[in-house]
Structure formats: C-alpha cells, structure tokens
Amino acid sequence: MNISDYVNPGKYEITIKQYLAIDIGGTAVKLGIVDEEGRVLSKTEQSVCFDNYETPILTTVLSAAEQFLKEQAVEPQGLAGIGVSATGQIDSRKGIVAGTCGRLPNYIGSPIKAELEAKFGLPTTVANDANCMTLGEVWVGGAKGYTDVIGVTLGTGVGGGILTGGRLLEGARGLGGELGHFRTHALDGVFCTCGASGCWERYAATTALVRGAQPRNPKWKDGRAIFESAHAGDPTILALLDDWTDEIAQGLAGMVHIFNPQLILIGGGVSAQQELLIDPIARKVRASVMPAFAEGLEIRAAQLHNDAGMVGAVYYFRQSRGEI
C-alpha cells in the first residue's frame, strides 16, 4: 500500500493522523511522514550545501518538501500539519531562525513557519533540533515514560534539550536549552564561535576531542578513528578520552544540581560507545553530584539516532496544539 493510501480520504478511510516532519541540519535536510504514534512511514534526505549555500537553506527545504510529497503521492490536505526541527537558535514562538553559532549564509532570519504555511496551507511549528531530539526520545525512545530529562547531543557542537515536569523548557522566546553555551571555563576558556569564551561545547563536543588528538597523530581525524585506537588500547588516546569525559561529566553535574533529572540521554554519533564513553560519564557524574541528586539518576545513550529530530518535531507540533 502506498503512503497516499493512508492519507487520501477518497480512497481509504483515515484512521490515523499523519504529519510532514522536517529536520533541517547544517549540511542536509531530512524529510519524513510520521504518524500520530511516532512511526516514521517514509523518509528521504537532501543536501542543503550542494552549492556552498548560494541557494538559501530555506529555499532548498521548501523545494525538497514539495518534491518529497510528490514522490510519496501525498496531498498536503491529507496531512494534519508540519513539524520542523531546525539547527540554530530557533524562536519557536515566531517560527524563525533567531541566530546561529556557525557559518550558515542566508539562514538567520529565515521565516520557516510562515513560508511552509504559505506553501502547503498546513499549520506548522518550528523548534530547535536538540530540543526535538529530546522530545523524540521522550515520545517513543529511551526516555519514554520519564518527566524530567536532560538530552545532550555530542558532535560538531553540543546541543541539548531539557524536559521538566513533562514539558520542554523553552524560555521566553523558545530559545532555552542551549546547553553547549553554558560557560564552564568562563575566565580562561577557549574562544567559542558564539563570541564568548569557555563555552562547554568547546570542551565537550566531539570536535574538542579531535582537536586535542590530531596534533599527537594526524590519523586521529574523527571520532571513529579515535575510538578505534582506544579499543586497541592506545594509552595516549585513552588519556585524552579520560580528560574529555571529565569535561562532559562536569558540565552535566552542574545541570543535575539545577534540574534534578531522572534521566540523562546522550546522543550523537559517538553515543554508541558504551564502555568508553557512556559508562565513564555516568560514573563521573554520579561521583560529582551530591548524594541525594545521584539517587535514582539514570544516564544512558539515546535510541532513535537519525530519526529523533523528525519524530520530536511532530511530538512538539502535537503538544503545542493540545493533541497530547
């Protein structure tokens, strides 16, 4: 059965709501059809930097969404709405990109919500990608059933989302949860792309690990190469990993004292490293917080991986509109 069979009211009775999910990253956009139970029914991916960003990211996203729906034979009016997960500082009240910490030309100020609603005639919500990762895990992933969660993604930077009392912590404009720019080395820290110094992501991102490793051995150019050497027992890399997980754990320990979560979820490409990453972080966080905060605290890897942003974007849409 084609996807359109589920959403074309002239062919079959609609039994379950479906949504267009869009996950806008710095290099690619993911698109999918997600149903009201959090299942990804179909998906695709397209580059947003194919011409070095001469085409604005939002222009590429609009075109990719139109093409995706045509390929799936889905009419927009058969969908319940559009949920968007987007990189950057997202004003979720207005559905626009309020800022970024990297070089993404023609992206700041992009009116994502307004443009998608105008093109497809569907209600649309837009939220930060790391917030959506956390919500996806809460809905159908590793945080299902939890009400107080810190979700952290380790990669080029550090993203995060905070769930407190079952609701996403967003702040006045929806910009809350920028965990990577919590300043852990404010007085003497490394300069950050945001313009400040000492931000946590300059020490806890995977790129921070690579930055420390490459001068010692050029082959350690990414997380995969580093962890391969770590599994082989290389003492230099094991020492670097120990220092790196110290930095991650110290940032998380501060957040534990502020938010008192039940669960910390760690996502990103390196999160599959249970023995070398997740276990040391969990041990160090518990050792660094007051005993009452450590009691019952769970720390583990995220489950949804590449689909988390799309799934979480739909959850955010449904929660924002009172469907959940």
CA distances from residue 311 to 23, 45, 216, 260 in whole angstroms, order as listed: 9, 15, 40, 25
What tokens does 4 get?
């359109």
What are the structural domain ranges in the chain? 4-132+307-320, 144-302
Q: Please list the alpha-helical segments (H only) found in the chain.
A: 4-7, 57-71, 112-120, 129-140, 201-204, 206-213, 223-231, 235-259, 279-288, 291-294, 308-320
Q: CATH number of 4-132+307-320: 3.30.70.1230, 3.30.300.30, 3.40.50.970, 3.30.420.40?
A: 3.30.420.40
Classify strands 18-24 and 82-86 as parallel, antiparallel or unpaired. Answer: parallel
* Eight-state DSSP code of residue 187: T
The span from the first CA to the last CA of the chain, in angstroms, equals 28
What string of DSSP letters covers 238-255? Answer: HHHHHHHHHHHHHHHHHH
The CA distance from 6 to 11, in Å, is 8
Residues 171 and 183 sit within 8 Å (Cβ to Cβ): no
Regarding the domain delimited by 144-302, which CATH topology (the fold level of the hierarchy) does it fall under? Answer: Nucleotidyltransferase; domain 5 (3.30.420)
- Topology match between the domains 4-132+307-320 and 144-302: yes
Tally Cβ neighbours within 10 Å of residue 82: 25
The CA distance from 39 to 62, in Å, is 23
* Beta strand spans in 93-186 (E): 96-99, 124-128, 149-154, 158-164, 167-168
Q: What is the pLDDT of residues 244-265, one digit of tens each?
A: 999 999 999 999 999 999 999 9
- Nearest Cα to Cα of residue 181 among 162, 161, 196: 196
Q: What is the pLDDT of residues 99-121, one digit of tens each?
A: 987 778 999 999 999 999 999 99
What string of DSSP letters covers 37-70? Answer: TS-EEEEEEEES-TTTTSS-HHHHHHHHHHHHHH
Dihedral sign, CA of 253, 255, 258, 264?
A: negative
Q: Which residues contact 141 (CB under 8 A, 6 or more apart)?
A: 302, 303, 304, 308, 311
What is the CA 137 to chain-centroid distance, rounded? Answer: 10
The CA distance from 44 to 146, in Å, is 30
What tokens does 28 get?
């690619």
pLDDT by position in tens, the chain (length 324): 455 444 454 444 557 999 999 999 888 999 999 999 999 999 999 999 999 999 999 999 999 999 999 999 999 999 999 999 999 999 999 999 999 877 789 999 999 999 999 999 999 999 999 999 999 999 999 999 999 999 999 988 898 899 999 999 999 988 898 999 999 999 999 999 888 999 999 999 999 999 999 999 999 999 999 999 999 999 999 999 999 999 999 999 999 999 999 999 999 889 999 999 999 999 999 999 999 999 999 999 999 988 999 999 999 999 999 998
pTM (predicted TM-score): 0.87
Residues 286 and 280 sit within 8 Å (Cβ to Cβ): no
Classify strands 149-154 and 158-164 as parallel, antiparallel or unpaired. Answer: antiparallel
